[in-house]
């Protein structure tokens, strides 16, 4: 006869579901945060003691979301009504006569692992996987996400944790698989204003027969990401089926990865990293490589710009990041090459989605006014991918082939085909508000601050206002006269223009001019 158990049996306690409420779409933009609104004197708040910032569950049949509760005092809502933010409404998708049932949200067990990380403990693979699973399910508040990101920043992730974080991010979403033995991709780690090489590179290498299904992210800490710039030129929010169709027709695409649920946990973290202006090395590596692995890439080129005001300040830091990227990539069977490039000044003239799009078109169309530095950098990266993809082995031959493909118009024809397949090529506009910032000295341009230029462009409205940003009118070493424009701020409203110019007035050395 088996010995009696000493553990008490714990009955399964049904979670309380509260009465249904009518829903109202309040039209409040809360970003990615799901927010519900109830009156302070509603029966639901009275019955359960819900208070501001409570985590609650909302259910309509099989559909459910978890949201943060905001409590309304006044007549905005009726006592039996519940309001939803735009993100919550779009996620729950309520019908015209459907009523929502409220319940207490289940506790988020993985937060214990976040607290452990805050106190300096290393996390095991299963613990990181649990955190990413809850992050992808949007069960973390913005404050909790910020705590996790901060706890993992500044070198606080070991190599084993970075590997586990990368794998957990990959497993949080969809995986793409391609029939081709070689699928190439590139990524720039950022920190360099402008530098919109990706559309040019994709056009060149796919025109020559390589397959490059490029999934790009929105801006994290910059005035524009590749997806932001490409969205000015063509639709980028394609689903998996649409993306496959574009790649089958043209050999490549340039789309927003977030629309295809590739590494969705990373997409959630990116939004908070943008607000915190944090992009630490371990999280950067996991973020970049998880997207490449999930997208089905086999060969990846990483551009690492180095400069005193770039994300990577010197060659030592660049080599360290390059080695870490290569170690992690090797662990997943990914062929990776890192190029350490010059990040001493912006690449191209435009900084901001539409302004960078104008630069891209000028290079692809081989116009005389096209920025030579953007053209040369794109050719360098395209040549490296041609070698990685096995088309050529000699560096000089690869560069020459890339240059001929651009000069002949083949790359421009290919780019037009990609845009047409994605939904149609559009002409980027120009901002109504423009203000040139002039030099107060005669002399030589001695330094250009990438970070302060990017900050100015963001204060002007970029990337959310796609026409906003700034255009750079000088390069390092140029001689300038008093009153000559150094850069021009572009904004879509007078208020944003004034906001950016106030910052410029407090930072007179964004472009530093020294006497001859």
Residues forming the active site: 279
- Distance CA(423)–CA(483), nearest Å, equals 44
Backbone angles phi, psi at 155, to 5 degrees: 75, 15
- Distance CA(91)–CA(78), nearest Å, equals 23
Q: In whole angstroms, what separates CA 250 from the centre of its chain?
A: 25
Tell which residue, 499, 492, 509, has the closest CA to residue 456: 499
Cα Rg of the chain (Å, integer): 25
DSSP H stretches of helix in 224-279 = 226-233, 240-250, 264-276
**Chain length of the chain:** 516
Tell which residue, 327, 251, 395, has the closest CA to residue 319: 327
Would you state the structure tokens that stand for residue 359, as one six-digit string?
A: 């630069």
User: What CA–CA distances, in Å, run from 165 to 127, 266, 301, 335, 336?
Assistant: 10, 10, 21, 19, 19
Q: Hey, how many other C-beta atoms are within 10 angstroms of the C-beta on 392?
A: 17
| DSSP, res 436 | E
Tell which residue, 333, 227, 321, has the closest CA to residue 270: 227
State whether residue 150 is helix, strand or coil: helix
Contacts 24+ apart (CB under 8 A), 2-6: none
Tell which residue, 111, 96, 110, 18, has the closest CA to residue 56: 18
Would you state the structure tokens that stand for residue 294, as one six-digit string?
A: 């999930």
């Amino acid at each position: 006869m088996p010995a009696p158990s000493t553990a008490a049996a714990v009955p399964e306690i049904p979670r309380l579901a509260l009465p249904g409420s009518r829903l109202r779409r309040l039209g409040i933009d809360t970003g990615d945060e799901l927010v519900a609104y109830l009156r302070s004197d509603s029966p639901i708040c009275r019955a359960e003691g819900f208070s501001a910032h409570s985590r609650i569950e909302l259910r309509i049949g099989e559909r459910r979301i978890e949201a943060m509760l905001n409590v309304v005092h006044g007549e905005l809502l009726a006592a039996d009504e519940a309001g939803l933010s735009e993100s919550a409404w779009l996620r729950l998708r309520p019908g015209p006569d459907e009523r929502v049932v409220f319940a207490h949200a289940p506790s988020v067990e993985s937060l214990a692992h976040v607290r452990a990380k805050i106190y300096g403990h290393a996390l095991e693979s299963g613990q990181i996987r649990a955190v990413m699973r809850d992050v992808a399910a949007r069960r973390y508040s913005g404050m909790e996400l910020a705590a996790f990101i901060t706890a993992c920043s500044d070198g606080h992730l070991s190599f084993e944790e970075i590997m586990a974080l990368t794998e957990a991010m990959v497993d949080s979403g969809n995986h793409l698989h391609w029939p081709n033995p070689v699928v190439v991709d590139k990524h720039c780690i950022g920190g360099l204003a402008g530098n919109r090489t990706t559309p040019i590179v994709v056009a060149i290498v796919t025109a020559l027969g390589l397959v490059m299904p490029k999934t790009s992210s929105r801006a994290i800490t910059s005035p524009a990401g590749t997806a932001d710039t490409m969205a000015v030129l063509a639709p980028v929010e394609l689903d998996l089926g649409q993306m496959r169709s574009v790649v089958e027709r043209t050999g490549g695409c340039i789309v927003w990865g977030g629309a295809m649920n590739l590494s969705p946990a990373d997409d959630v973290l990116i939004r908070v990293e943008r607000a915190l202006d944090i992009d630490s090395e371990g999280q950067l590596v996991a973020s970049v490589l998880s997207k490449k692995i999930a997208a089905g890439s086999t060969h990846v080129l990483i551009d690492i710009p180095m400069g005193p005001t770039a994300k990577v300040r010197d060659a030592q830091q660049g080599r360290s990041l390059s080695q870490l990227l290569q170690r992690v990539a090797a662990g997943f069977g990914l062929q990776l090459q890192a190029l350490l490039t010059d990040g001493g000044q912006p690449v191209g003239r435009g900084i901001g989605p539409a302004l960078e799009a104008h630069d891209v078109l000028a290079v692809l169309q081989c116009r005389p006014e096209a920025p030579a530095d953007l053209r040369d950098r794109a050719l360098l990266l395209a040549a490296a991918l041609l070698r990685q993809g096995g088309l050529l082995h000699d560096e000089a031959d690869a560069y020459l082939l890339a240059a001929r493909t651009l000069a002949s118009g083949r790359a421009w024809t290919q780019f037009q085909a990609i845009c047409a397949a994605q939904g149609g090529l559009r002409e980027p506009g120009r901002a109504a508000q423009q203000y040139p910032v002039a030099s107060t000295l005669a002399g030589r341009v001695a330094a250009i601050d990438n970070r302060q230029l990017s900050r100015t462009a963001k204060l002007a409205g970029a990337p959310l206002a796609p026409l906003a940003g700034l255009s750079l009118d000088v390069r390092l070493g140029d001689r300038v006269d008093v009153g000559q424009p150094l850069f021009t701020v572009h904004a879509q409203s007078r208020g944003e223009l004034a906001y950016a110019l106030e910052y410029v007035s407090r930072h007179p050395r964004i472009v530093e001019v020294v006497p001859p």
